Amino acid sequence: MAKLDIYPGFSSSVIEAFKVKVAQMEPRDRLCILVFDEMSLKCSLNYIVERDYVEGLEDFGMACGSTEKAANQATVFMVEV
């Protein structure tokens, strides 16, 4: 996962990585815990030259877009097998 190029929202590259991993597992090993949580963020803006992108603004992914406000919270998820 550390090698994936990840952006806000649901990432198709992450979903594809999960599909590959799950396809290699036995059915009994596919049971998992999916946890969603919210966390506070320290407001910080960074300009990423390679992507021409300002990191740290509110961004709800491709489906909902972004705002010009600094992000102060994030929704995160964890999958534990």
Convert the pLDDT of each residue in 14-68 to its tens digit: 888 889 999 999 999 999 999 999 999 999 999 999 989 898 999 887 778 888 9
Is the separation of the CB atoms in 47 and 57 below 8 Å? no
pLDDT tens profile 59-68: 887 778 888 9
Q: What is the DSSP secondary-structure string of 18-73?
A: HHHHHHTS-GGGG--EEEEEEEE-----EEEGGGTEEETEEE--TTT-EEEEEP-E
What does the DSSP 8-state code read for residue 4? S
Which pTM was predicted? 0.61
Domain ranges of the chain: 28-80
